[in-house]
A and B are shown apart, each in its own frame.
Chain A
Amino acid sequence: MANTMQFDLVSPERRLASLQVSAVQIPGADGDMTAMPDHAPTITTLRPGVLKVEGPEGTSEYLVTGGFAQIGADTLSVLAEKAIPVTEVTRAHLDELIAEARSSHEAAKGQEHTSVVDDAAKLLADMEALGTHMGL
């Protein structure tokens, strides 16, 4: 059994990472999941959160928003709309994300479907929790 798999993290603008990893923790839309080699093939959408990558060369973390992850037995591709290495994330990045979430929350308030409002509110809460998590 292989103990590593090929991991690719791509954003629309560039490829951020492409390496062999042993486990990746993904902030899936329905909850966090950790993908290891020989995982059942799965496609999941992402919620904004932190992607933890564990490889032979140590761990790295990325802040990701929007997109999806495609998990195969020996490959894992994460396509994120925005992906920033956590070490490079600044308060400004986060403020921007929070402002975006807030404006979509405001926009959603006028709508009839409560689910949209709930989603936006959740996004906003996610963002703020993210900031606390990273100690910014």
Chain B
Amino acid sequence: MPSLKDLKNRIESVKSTRKITKAMQMVAAAKLRRAQESAEAARPYAERFNAVMAGLAASVGGSDSAPLLLRGTGSDQVHLLVVMTAERGLCGGFNSNIAKLARTRANELLAKGKTVKILTVGKKGRDALKRDFAKHSVGHVDLSGIKSMGYANAQDIARDVLARFDAGEFDVATIFYAKFENVVTQVPTAQQIIPAAFETDGEGDEVALFDYEPSEEAILADLLPRGVATQIFSALLENGASEQGARMSAMDNATRNAGEMIDKLTIEFNRSRQAVITNELIEIISGAEAL
């Protein structure tokens, strides 16, 4: 049976924990709003870009002269997994879900005898994959110093990936990130970026009517690397929103748990205090009777 003082200390400490988780939740809520706004602001660009690329890809795609980024290197022996996670923890299953998806994929590929290379973006993903895949890791992009994700960050990552592709280091690149559905649901997603796979939604015919200046091939060659950056950028933004959403709900749960714990401890504290008082009374009374 813990003493009254122990219980009191315990309640105090849980109370301060609750204050911290509450504050973190509110910070995450504010950041989430901003992250969602920037994710939404980026959407028109990505959508139009993909629509045009899909049209171009459909009209040029079949030919042998299509850029390597579009038709691939012709093999799928070496896979590059770009695993994008957060820099910080305390956001529920966010980081581990992405890492788990990447790990499953890596194991599948390894079982098929493919070569796997891993590029991690964000500290937590690196930590999670370090133990199992240390020898597959080819690099890490640190985002810890970045306050708000800009297109320049995506470009840096894209440049890194493209340089590796040009050097023939891999055949297929896939990015792993969490798609933001809503505050409680974030879906870990794998998306192939090289060779480029564009979603065609029946707009191909319409786009094919356009005149191209310069030629379709030249435009495609110019736009494909930008497409990689665009896809990485949207993934980064989705990830940012997902991280804050995950943290918000995780901290909400933590706050509620702390509240429950405080209630339970308070009841226990009151009971023991009452027991102490009753005890004292019994002692006094029996002492008085003995006289």
Give A contacts to B, CB under 8 Å. Answer: 8, 10-15, 28-30, 33, 40-45, 66-68, 70, 77, 79, 81-82
Residue contact B211 to A41, C-beta cutoff 8 Å: yes
Q: Chain B residues near A42: list those with CB within 8 A.
A: 210-213
Q: Which parts of B44-75 form the interface with A (CB within 8 Å)?
A: 44-46, 48-49, 52, 56
Q: Are B214 and A29 neighbours in the complex by a CB distance under 8 Å?
A: yes
How distant is the Cα of A80 from the Cα of B244 in the complex, in angstroms? 29
Q: Which residues of B sit under 8 angstroms from A28, Cβ to Cβ?
A: 213
- Is B41 an interface residue, CB under 8 A from the partner? yes
Closest 7 interchain pairs by CB? A44-B213, A12-B151, A14-B41, A42-B211, A41-B210, A10-B45, A43-B210
Contact B223 A68, beta carbon cutoff 8 Å: yes
- Interface set, chain B 72-130, CB cutoff 8 A to A: none
Check B186 for interface membership: any CB of A closer than 8 A. Answer: no
Residues of A within 8 A of B20 (CB): none
Q: Report the tally of A-B residue pairs with Cβ distances under 8 A.
A: 75
Contact check: which of A8, A12, A41, A45 meets B233 at CB < 8 Å?
A: A12
Residue B162 lies at the interface, judged by CB distance under 8 Å to chain A:
no
User: B190 to chain A: closest CB distance in Å?
Assistant: 22
For the residues of A in contact with B, the DSSP-based class is strand
B211 to A40, Cβ gap below 8 A?
A: yes
Whether the pair A13, B150 counts as a contact (CB closer than 8 A) is: yes
Most buried by B among A8, A67, A68: A68
Q: Are A45 and B214 in contact (CB under 8 A)?
A: yes
Nearest B residue to A33 via CB reads: B213
| B42 CB-CB contact with A under 8 Å | yes
B222 at the binding interface (Cβ < 8 Å): yes
Residues of A within 8 A of B233 (CB): 12
Other A-B contacts than A11-B151, A15-B45, 10 sampled, CB-CB below 8 A, are: A12-B151, A13-B150, A29-B222, A41-B211, A44-B219, A45-B218, A45-B223, A66-B226, A68-B52, A79-B52
| A33: chain B residues within 8 A (beta carbon) | 213
Residues of A near B249 (CB, < 8 A) are none
CB atoms of A13 and B151 under 8 A apart = yes
17 contacts between A and B (CB under 8 A): A10-B48, A12-B42, A13-B41, A15-B41, A29-B213, A29-B214, A29-B218, A41-B209, A44-B212, A44-B214, A45-B222, A66-B226, A67-B226, A68-B219, A68-B223, A70-B210, A79-B48
CA distance A28 to B222 in the complex (A): 13
Contacts of A70 in B (CB 8 A): 48, 52, 210
Task: Assess whether B212 is in contact with A43, with CB atoms less than 8 Å apart.
Answer: yes
Determine if A13 and B42 form an interchain contact, defined as CB atoms under 8 angstroms apart: yes
CB pair A79–B45 under 8 Å, yes or no, is yes
Q: Which residues of B contact A77 (CB under 8 A)?
A: 48
* Assembled-state Cα–Cα distance A44/B46 (Å): 17
Q: Kindly identify which residue among A41, A45, A82 contacts B219, using a CB–CB cutoff of 8 Å.
A: A45
**Nearest chain A residue, comparing its CB with the CB of B41:** A14
- Asked whether B52 lies within 8 Å of A8 as measured between CB atoms, the reply is no
Residues of chain A with a CB closer than 8 A to B49's CB: 79
Option from B45, B209, B218 in Cβ contact (under 8 Å) with A11:
B45
